[in-house]
Amino acid sequence: MNAGPLRGLRVVELAGLAPAPFACTLLADLGAEVVRVDRAAPAADVLGVENDPLLRSRRTIGVDTKSADGVELVLRLCERADVLVEGFRPGAAERMGLGPEQVCARNPRLVYGRITGWGQTGPLAHSAGHDINYIGLSGALHPIGRTGERPVPPVNFLGDFGGGGMYLAMGVLAALFERGTSGRGQVVDASMVEGSALLTTHLFGLRASGLWNGDRGENVLDGGAPFYDTYTTADGRHVAVGAIEGRFWTALVEVLDLDPERLPVHIDAREWPRLREILAEAIGRHTRDELMAKAEGTDACLTPVLAPWEAPQHPHNAARGTFVDVGGMTQPAPGPKFDRTPAPDPRPPHEKGSDTTEVLTELGVDPAEIDRLRAAGTIA
């Protein structure tokens, strides 16, 4: 069975939260062999969940990285690895003896991936923060919300995942590509401020072109335009309307049984309040599923707003295999799709530290030494 486009890539993950595990999940999903280094005596995480999908498809070892023997084990793992990923505050890995200088001295070809909120340098580098703080500083949070209201946190999609883990994974793959020419690894410094800022690139173009001059909730793509917004249906559910271009607007008008001759010009911002009332009234006459039946086969750009737990049952997602069952839990499938080297089926998370003996044996540590390290509390 094909094991994905990253088959043969070896990754060492130093256990952390959200962005770093997500980056390693993306790599593991595509076939990389990821070994996660957990604590020898795992502590409870505030946001930890049982069978966490962010920990799927890798092995896990328990190591006390505060001990010299534990650090040496991780360094030995890194000697055989292509990538190390860590998500600690700047300087923490160095104090452990596992910073770039120490690790790359043992393996100059290793790509050292680092993910932090603020970056490895700068006035805020050592400050605490979370997704909401990083996207606040980057400008990514400000546009999200209704006009006249405060910004709305978009869960932690923009900082932790889009501008964090996915951004880091892209950087790691770029460094691996460059290594093919130079033969040398390098440090990838991925900041969630910079990653989420990168996600706003198109807004700078829109603003420079005069297409984004309003405040929050007053522009074409932030809910300001009535033809790009969400509406409540007769059954209290919601639909998304994205009929920007003229031909799509025409299709939407037809689906909603509206008379185009009696409608204001949809791109005239002065008419948006009146047009919003018309759309809300027309949409509110139907249930969500009735509207979906009317829109089927058209280019009206009218879709349901599904809860994440509803999305797997939608016929399109089911046909594409967008979601999979992993150990009894439905969750998003690996992606993107590859025609020659498809991703392997995801594997359920292993219990923390459960692969310690297997991984260390493969590393060449003899059974007596494994017993000694376990008795000393160095490994799980």
Residues labelled catalytic: 130, 160
Instruction: Identify the three-state secondary structure at position 126.
Output: coil
CA-to-CA distance for 102 and 73, rounded, in angstroms? 13
**What are the DSSP E strand ranges found in the chain?**
10-14, 33-38, 59-62, 83-86, 111-116, 187-191, 228-232, 238-242, 302-304, 323-326, 329-332
SS3 at position 42? coil
Supply 357's token pair: 């003996």
**What residues contact 230, with CB distance under 8 A and at least 6 apart?**
223, 238, 239, 240, 241, 305
Which residues face 34 on adjacent strands?
11
Q: Cα–Cα distance between 63 and 378 in angstroms, integer?
A: 6
Phi, psi for residue 63 in degrees, rounded to 5: -140, 135
